[in-house]
Amino acid sequence: MLSKARVLKIEEIFSGCFFLQLEEQRIAGDSLPGQFLHVRVADNTVPFLRRPFSIAGASPRNGTVEIIFRVVGEGTRILSRLQKDEFLDCLGPLGTPFSPGKEFPVSILLAGGAGIAPLLFLAGTLAGKREKILVYYGTPNSGELLTPDKFLPPGVDVFLATEDGSAGFHGLVTDLFERSLKDDPGRAEIFACGPEAMLKTLAKKNRSWGFPMQLSLEERMACGIGACQGCAVQAHRENKTGYLRVCRDGPVFNSQEVVW
Amino acid sequence: MLSKARVLKIEEIFSGCFFLQLEEQRIAGDSLPGQFLHVRVADNTVPFLRRPFSIAGASPRNGTVEIIFRVVGEGTRILSRLQKDEFLDCLGPLGTPFSPGKEFPVSILLAGGAGIAPLLFLAGTLAGKREKILVYYGTPNSGELLTPDKFLPPGVDVFLATEDGSAGFHGLVTDLFERSLKDDPGRAEIFACGPEAMLKTLAKKNRSWGFPMQLSLEERMACGIGACQGCAVQAHRENKTGYLRVCRDGPVFNSQEVVW
Amino acid sequence: MINLEVNLGPLRLKNPVLAASGTFGFGEEYASFFELEKLGAVIVKGLTLRPRQGNPPPRIAETPAGMLNAIGLQNPGLEAFLERELPRLRSINAAVIVNIAGDTEEEYLTLARELSETNGILALELNLSCPNVKEGGIFFGTSADVMTRLIRKVRRVCRLPLIVKLSPNVTDIVELAEAAESSGADILSLINTLKGMVIDVSRRRPLLGNITGGLSGPAIRPVAVRMVYEVYRSVKIPIIGMGGITNLDDALQFFLAGARAVAVGSASFINPYTIPRLISDLQLFMESEGLQSLDEIVGAAQR
Amino acid sequence: MINLEVNLGPLRLKNPVLAASGTFGFGEEYASFFELEKLGAVIVKGLTLRPRQGNPPPRIAETPAGMLNAIGLQNPGLEAFLERELPRLRSINAAVIVNIAGDTEEEYLTLARELSETNGILALELNLSCPNVKEGGIFFGTSADVMTRLIRKVRRVCRLPLIVKLSPNVTDIVELAEAAESSGADILSLINTLKGMVIDVSRRRPLLGNITGGLSGPAIRPVAVRMVYEVYRSVKIPIIGMGGITNLDDALQFFLAGARAVAVGSASFINPYTIPRLISDLQLFMESEGLQSLDEIVGAAQR
Ligand SMILES: Cc1cc2nc3c(=O)[nH]c(=O)nc-3n(C[C@H](O)[C@H](O)[C@H](O)COP(=O)(O)OP(=O)(O)OC[C@H]3O[C@@H](n4cnc5c(N)ncnc54)[C@H](O)[C@@H]3O)c2cc1C
Ligand SMILES: Cc1cc2nc3c(=O)[nH]c(=O)nc-3n(C[C@H](O)[C@H](O)[C@H](O)COP(=O)(O)OP(=O)(O)OC[C@H]3O[C@@H](n4cnc5c(N)ncnc54)[C@H](O)[C@@H]3O)c2cc1C
Ligand SMILES: Cc1cc2nc3c(=O)[nH]c(=O)nc-3n(C[C@H](O)[C@H](O)[C@H](O)COP(=O)(O)O)c2cc1C
Ligand SMILES: Cc1cc2nc3c(=O)[nH]c(=O)nc-3n(C[C@H](O)[C@H](O)[C@H](O)COP(=O)(O)O)c2cc1C
Ligand code: FES
Ligand code: FES
């Protein structure tokens, strides 16, 4: 599960946000949407810990796997300086993936910011297998928007929201979704990834909407494989309430499981 | 005294030993033989401390300054990966330089291993100003020998010694020197740099030879500028015995000053 | 091939490299990377009598050359351990050492008693030093008197080799080591984490849910090596050294300082293969240096 | 421009960023990089009554994200300080705090008495915590009783603001901080270095001539921040925080934890301009955050 993956491509999609394509056959073959790579950004004791990134796409045929990351601190800054043909130490794929139900003809993907990453991968695997795939995607402004068409398969309907109104709907992606809500909870399921506030809002509203809904969560991680109990999130599961591990019990949780 | 110097050239002279040429006008103009640069090998907290390297050459005209370093640990390993046009954070020139006496027509330069570095610079500045410049240079074997001609001005006589006899004299450079000893202590002075054992032997033998002799010493450093008292070497100076600072009171000491 | 077997008083290990408690869970996750059988022993996550929820998140903070954790001893409790974890570990032939913690003396005693009666456990490690729980833990580990009383009692009910794990958050580690030795410890483990904290400057709040946490990783290695060195001079019982070990060189510092075995903690998070790699590097080192036994280097830096 | 002036009890500083003792010598070397006048204060190298040779080399060892030092208080002694160093510092308008250390109570008292009678010294910092000298130093800093007695006596002869610098090598920093406060300290400095060591594996010997040394740098920052945070809750006197500060963010952690001023130590070795840069970054931060006074952030992370 530990590999050195070769950098095929690194590209700044918009200021401070990078697309990274890696070549690693095993990871490419094993990855499922919702899983993540735990990446060692440098061969040094600073930064000490690995960094988790959702897998944004994988092609077993080409042996490639992709992540999309925003530069928020030292680790991602170092990553952003990677060059083609360098090697990146990756642990993974890790974590429990999304589990789309065949019984739902409509898939609704709700993304906030960099949360789009795992949903791009999911959309790719669902394409052609669902009647409708709807992607709702919100960012603060049009400058922080990746062109979803570039990363999405054909036949996916994309709805944009920006907080400042510079592109698409003016407001939060959750509001956009609420307004356009017309799908039947019996026929559609939701997959969401984004900032905690967005997921929390969704989980709350969904109490009345009643969609089956899977959320991909984030928490600070050490091991990434389930051994240290570092990445705790409070949740119900199997009639118990306690701390589950984002890295192994998640990162994908059912929205009713999570205790906010 | 703190500069970012541009890498003009980095070259592996022999396995594990690098020649690094930097462009930095101020340093190039201020450097004197025996002084050193205190280098930050990476913009990170690991390695934490700067690394000191003797200045192996400087040209105020070209604005260039050079060091020669051997890879012995993490810091020098990182340095060895520098690329042309990258910038290196250098503090310096630091330390007390050699002070050759005009009254001595003969200069004898005794180098062990990487200790050749400051002596190359010294030879360059003495060239044409002395009757004779003799360089005695010893290394473990011919594979660890830099071709001194490449770095030395014309008119310098070079005598090689290797411990395994693979080039030049078979044995220690101190023995080679002792055998060829014929210069008059009244007319010649010695400048030496190399491993502690070599300098110690020299200092001891010089009690009978009686040459004026200047030694360039090494000690682990923190500040490099004289503030922390970290780089202590026991020495007599000004009728007192105590710890002097290699970084400021040295690295060049008179051989009688040092307490071994 | 050189035999890496080592005796720590009554405890015989197939090699002197252990997984440190709390960094290896109950071994399940690492078992998919390599055979746990290879390890000197797995010291399992701190076990308490009843299941523990642990502390609110965030529980992890990165620090320069290290990390803070404030797990708060989340574990499934004795019963689940005996039912699920221990049989699994035994089935894959892992050498198991159980790290135990309690809020009260009584809890320690019950744990020691019950685990002594269980097959397949090599030794107990008394965690007197967890900085991340409100009661117990570190309280037992910072006063020689309190510690002595507890160890004496545990000793009476414990039939397994007894390891006492010391906290570094003390004025005089030697005093505590001596107290542990004289009250019946067979082996000492040191060090546990240093108490630290990180403030999230953007939120102007402590980063960890528990406010403070335990500092581990290379950052603390100099403190750990120093404590092993000091303790080795004053006690006769063997020492398991830990704190910031990532590779052979780091481990050798501990052996030279006086440890007869070492444990790897946080480094496994960075590279899950750290321990098996260290074992084979140690093997190679001994061969290339012509060492017949670890004894030749244990404590060799003392002077 | 925002005024960075800060009062630490009786001590008024032009800004809250100081040079930590022992890392700045007597200021001479750094004066060629920038005007020392800019600093909140220069805390000079630990001064003893008589000149001190210090420890045998090597005195420095690098560690992950930090370093060990075992200088052993090498300094020219009181007389040379008064004759040479102090006048020089005064002539360039540096704000001077004198860090003093002794082997005996008597030495501390003599130093405090004589320095109190000298013009141009802003405050005394009692170093009760140097881990690198055989007698004195840390001995005075690890027992609340011994410390209390010493501080009381010094207080009586000292007319300058009295800073007490605490050792982190203790079980309970709060107990010592309270003891210092109640025995008359005006200000607390924390932390000094953690005791550590490195073994030179190739030589199989301790690397430092003194065997052990004091650990400083970013590695210890989490421990330092935690101690400032804990002490702030239990004492009323102001705190000078230090330990691993390299930039504004690091310094803010200390302010938010409860420090009213910070000192920069080892980071000056890496970049001699660390302190002046930190001062201007702090200025900019306060302006951009609309802070009128540091008070708005001192201790703001407490909860
Ligand atoms: C399962 C999972 C999937 C993720 N997928 C993506 C993705 O696809 N694209 C993307 O841009 N980001 C993603 N993140 C967030 C990403 O891991 C952080 O942005 C990154 O670790 C920040 O590292 P840094 O060194 O730049 O920041 P720093 O703030 O310097 O990091 C300091 C420490 O905090 C941790 N940390 C900081 N922010 C986060 C965070 N949001 N979540 C978890 N740990 C954090 C770091 O890992 C590190 O240990 C994901 C996080 C998780 C848990
Ligand atoms: C005044 C002076 C001039 C020098 N000139 C040269 C030169 O021209 N060419 C050259 O190859 N080397 C020179 N050295 C030695 C060089 O500084 C070390 O080889 C280098 O610091 C090793 O760094 P590292 O990270 O690779 O090794 P590591 O062993 O990993 O370094 C660990 C720590 O020890 C210190 N250290 C290790 N060896 C030495 C040493 N011999 N002297 C001082 N500190 C040491 C490092 O600086 C660092 O702080 C000089 C040393 C001094 C003091
Ligand atoms: C996430 C984490 C959890 C830990 N849990 C325990 C524990 O339950 N019991 C215990 O005695 N030590 C625990 N420790 C301490 C380690 O066993 C070890 O003593 C310490 O981390 C120092 O070693 P390292 O620097 O190699 O990590 C824990 C450490 C970490 C990092
Ligand atoms: C080389 C060196 C010498 C020191 N000398 C003294 C001293 O004489 N007196 C003192 O109180 N502290 C001394 N200290 C401790 C520092 O003042 C400071 O408390 C400690 O280094 C932590 O800060 P830092 O991590 O920023 O270096 C010294 C530290 C170093 C690195
Ligand atoms: S990060 Fe270790 S359990 Fe999730
Ligand atoms: S390295 Fe600081 S005085 Fe020489």
Domains and their CATH numbers in chain A: 2-94 (2.40.30.10), 106-218 (3.40.50.80), 220-250 (no CATH)
Residues 6+ apart with CB under 8 A from D134: none
Per-residue confidence (pLDDT) for residue B73, from 0 to 100: 96
Neighbouring-strand partners of residue B159: B136
Segment A220-247 mean pLDDT = 95
As given in the structure block, the two tokens for residue A77 are 């800054």
Average model confidence (pLDDT) for chain C? 95
Establish, for the pair of chains A and C, how many residue pairs have beta carbons separated by less than 8 Å: 105
B244 within ligand 6 shell (Cβ under 6 A)? no
Residues in D closer than 8 angstroms to B26, CB to CB, are none
At residue D159, the pLDDT reads 94
Distance from CA of A124 to the nearest CA of D (A): 41
- Please, which residues have CB within 8 angstroms of residue B41's CB and are 6 or more apart in sequence? B47, B50, B51, B75, B76, B78, B79
| Cα distance between residue B151 and residue B9, in whole Å | 14
Q: Give one DSSP letter per residue of B207-238, joined into a string.
A: HHH---EEEE-----SSSSSSS--SEEEEEET
Contacts of B42 (CB under 8 A, 6+ apart): B78
Q: What share of chain B has pLDDT > 70, as a percent? A: 100
Find out whether A142 and A167 touch, Cβ atoms under 8 Å.
yes
Q: Categorize the per-residue pLDDT at A130 as very low, low, confident or very high, splitting at 50, 70 and 90.
A: very high
A224 chain-C contacts, CB cut-off 8 A = 269
Q: Residue A148: its pLDDT value, please? A: 73
What's the gap in Å between the CA of C219 and the closest CA on chain B? 10
CA A5 to chain centre: 20
Contacts A45 to D, Cβ<8 Å: 64-65
Whether chain D has a CB inside 8 Å of the CB on C92: the answer is no
**Cα–Cα dist D157/D148, whole Å:** 15
Interchain CB contact of D288 with C (< 8 Å)? no
Mean pLDDT of the region A221-225 = 98
Helices A173-180 and A196-209, axial angle in degrees (round to 10): 20
> Shortest CB distance from C217 goes to which of A48, A50, A234?
A48
**Closest residue on chain A to D63 (Cα):** A45
Residue of A nearest to C31 (CA): A227
Ligand 4, from D69, D127, D216: best to mutate by most atoms within 8 Å of Cβ?
D216
Nearest-angstrom CA–CA distance, B111 and B160:
10
Euclidean distance between CA atoms D263 and A140, whole angstroms: 39
- A161 and A172 Cβ atoms separated by less than 8 Å: yes
Does residue A247 carry a pLDDT above 70? yes
Ligand 1 and A53: CB distance under 6 A: yes
| pLDDT for C131 | 59
Q: Rounded distance, CA D51 to CA A66, Å?
A: 64
Mutation target among D26, D28, D29, D99 for the B interface, most CBs of B within 10 A: D29
Q: Do B48 and D33 touch (CB under 8 A)?
A: no
Q: What is the model's pLDDT at position D138?
A: 59
Q: Which 3-state string (H, E, C) describes chain D?
A: CCCCCEEECCEEECCCEEECCCCCCCCCCHHHCCCHHHCCEEECCCECCCCECCCCCCCEEEECCEEEECCCCCECHHHHHHHHHHHHHHHCCCCEEEEECCCCHHHHHHHHHHHHCCCCCCEEEEECCCCCCCCCCHHHHHCHHHHHHHHHHHHHHCCCCEEEECCCCCCCHHHHHHHHHHCCCCEEEECCCEEECCEECCCCEECECCECEEEECHHHHHHHHHHHHHHHHHCCCCEEEECCCCCHHHHHHHHHHCCCEEEECCHHHHCCCHHHHHHHHHHHHHHHCCCCCHHHCCCCCCC
Q: What is the dihedral of CA C239, C240, C243, C248, to 10 degrees?
A: 110
For residue C133, which ligand has an atom nearest its CA? 3
Model confidence band, residue D2 (pLDDT cutoffs 50, 70, 90): confident
Contacts of B44 in chain A (CB under 8 A): 44, 46
Mean pLDDT estimate for chain B: 94
Cα(D263) to ligand 4 centroid in Å equals 10
pLDDT at position C9 is 96
Q: What ipTM goes with this model?
A: 0.96
**Chains touching chain B, criterion 3+ CB pairs below 8 Å:** A, C, D
Mutational test site, ligand 4, from B49, B221, B228, max ligand atoms within 8 Å of CB: B228
Confidence (pLDDT) at D1: 72
Please say if the pLDDT value at position A195 is more than 90. yes
**D256–C204 CB contact, under 8 Å:** yes
Q: Which chain D residues are within 8 Å of B93, Cβ to Cβ?
A: none
**Left if phi > 0, otherwise alpha if psi is -120 to 50, otherwise beta: which for D223?**
alpha
Question: Which ligand neighbours the alpha carbon of C244 most closely?
Answer: 3
Q: For chain C, which chains pass the contact test of at least 3 CB pairs under 8 Å? A: A, B, D
**Using 50, 70 and 90 to split pLDDT, how confident is the model at A104?**
very high
> How many whole angstroms separate alpha carbon A244 and alpha carbon A234?
6
Q: What is the pLDDT of residue B170?
A: 94
Q: Please tell me the distance in Å from B195's CA to the nearest CA on chain D.
A: 15
Encoding tokens for residue A61? 């045929």
Please give the C-alpha separations between residue A45 and each of A41, B46, C65, C177, D250, in angstroms, as whole numbers. 10, 7, 5, 30, 19
Listed residue (C236, C226, C289) closest to C260, CA to CA = C236
Structure tokens given for C60: 């992890």
Residues 6 or more apart in contact with residue A151 via CB below 8 angstroms:
A56, A57, A120
How near does any CA of chain D get to the CA of A144, in Å?
A: 24
Which letter does DSSP use for residue C189 in this model? E
- The CA distance from A226 to D60, in Å, is 40
Task: Give the closest-approach CA distance of C59 to chain D in angstroms.
Answer: 15
Mean predicted confidence (pLDDT) in C233-257: 98
Q: In chain C, which residue's Cα lies nearest the Cα of A225?
A: C29
* Of A1, A219, A222, Cβ closest to residue C57: A219
Q: Which residues of B touch D60 (CB under 8 A)?
A: 49, 220-222, 228, 230-231
Name the strand (E) or helix (H) holding A28: helix A25-30
Q: What proportion of chain D, given as a percentage, has pLDDT over 90? A: 92
The predicted pLDDT at position A59 comes to 96
Total length of chain B: 260
Which of C256, C291, C263 lies closest to C2 in space, CA to CA? Answer: C291
Which residues does chain A have within 8 Å of residue D222's beta carbon, measured at their own beta carbons?
Answer: none
The closest residue, in CA terms, to atom 25 on ligand 1 is A75
Q: Nearest residue of B to residue D19 by CA position?
A: B227
Torsions phi, psi of B16, nearest 5? 85, 5
More confident residue, A178 or D161: D161
pLDDT at D40 over 90: yes
Q: Is the pLDDT of residue C132 over 80?
A: no
pLDDT exceeds cutoff 80 at A216:
yes
The domain locations on chain C are: 6-54+71-196+215-302
Question: With contact defined as beta carbons under 8 Å apart, do D122 and D11 qualify?
Answer: yes
pLDDT, mean over chain D: 95
pLDDT greater at residue B148 or residue B100: B100
Query: Catalytic residue positions of C?
Result: 130
pLDDT of residue A260: 86
Atom of ligand 6 nearest to the CA of B229: 3
- Chain C residues in contact with B46 (beta carbon < 8 A): 64-65
Distance C90 CA to ligand 1 centre (A): 37
The kind and range of the H/E element at B158 are strand B156-162
Cβ neighbour number for residue A157 with a 10 Å cutoff: 11
Q: List pLDDT tens digits, range A113-129.
A: 999 999 999 999 999 99
The position carrying tokens 């033998």 is B205
Among all bound ligands, the one having the nearest atom to the CA of D29 is 6
Question: What spacing in Å lies between the alpha carbon of C288 and ligand 2's midpoint?
Answer: 26
And the tokens for A113? Answer: 């910011």
Chain D interface with B: residues with Cβ < 8 Å: 22-25, 28-30, 32-33, 45, 53-67, 69, 71, 74, 217-218, 246, 266, 268-273
Instruction: Judge contact between D140 and D147, C-beta under 8 A.
Output: yes
* Per-residue pLDDT at C130 exceeds 70: no
Q: Architecture of domain D6-54+71-196+215-302 in CATH?
A: Alpha-Beta Barrel (3.20)
**Stretch D238-256: mean pLDDT:** 98
Q: What is the dihedral of CA D137, D143, D144, D146, to 10 degrees?
A: -60
Report the residue of chain A nearest C33, measured CA to CA.
A1
**Exactly one of D109, D123, D130, D188 is catalytic; which is it?**
D130
Per DSSP, the residues of B109-131 read: EEEEGGGHHHHHHHHHHHTTTSS
**What is the pTM (predicted TM-score) of this model?**
0.97
**Whole-number pLDDT of residue D133:** 57
Ligand 2 pocket check for B51: Cβ under 6 Å: yes
In the stretch 19-48 of chain B, residues with CB closer than 8 A to chain A read 44-46
* Contact between chains at A45 and C61 (C-beta distance less than 8 A): no
Mean pLDDT of all residues in D131-139: 58
**pLDDT tens-place string over residues D163-222:** 999 999 999 999 999 999 999 999 999 999 999 999 999 999 999 999 999 999 999 999
Q: At what angle do helices C248-257 and C221-234 cross, to 10 degrees?
A: 30
Nearest-CA residue for ligand 2 atom 50 is B53
Closest-CA residue of chain D to B50:
D270
Q: Which residue has the tokens 């473990």?
A: B140
- Return the pLDDT at C137: 54
In the predicted structure, residue D135 carries a pLDDT above the cut 60: no
In this predicted structure, the answer to whether residue B183 has a pLDDT above a threshold of 80 is no
Interface contact D269-B91, CB threshold 8 A: no
pLDDT at A239: 84
**Antiparallel, parallel or unpaired: β A36-40 and A51-54:** antiparallel
Atom number of ligand 6 nearest to Cα B226: 3
CB atoms within 10 A of CB D288: 8
Q: Given pLDDT bands bounded at 50, 70 and 90, which one contains residue C138? A: low
pLDDT average, residue stretch C134-160: 84
Distance in angstroms (rounded) separating the CA atoms of residues A169 and A172 = 8
**Chains A, B: CB pairs < 8 Å:** 6
What is the pLDDT at residue A146?
86
> Strand D96-100 relative to strand A132-139: parallel, antiparallel, unpaired?
unpaired
Token digits for D59?
């005195």
Q: What is the pLDDT of residues C42-80, one digit of tens each?
A: 999 999 999 999 999 999 999 999 999 999 999 999 999
Structure tokens that stand for D266 in this block: 């080892």
Residue nearest to atom 11 of ligand 1 (CA): A69
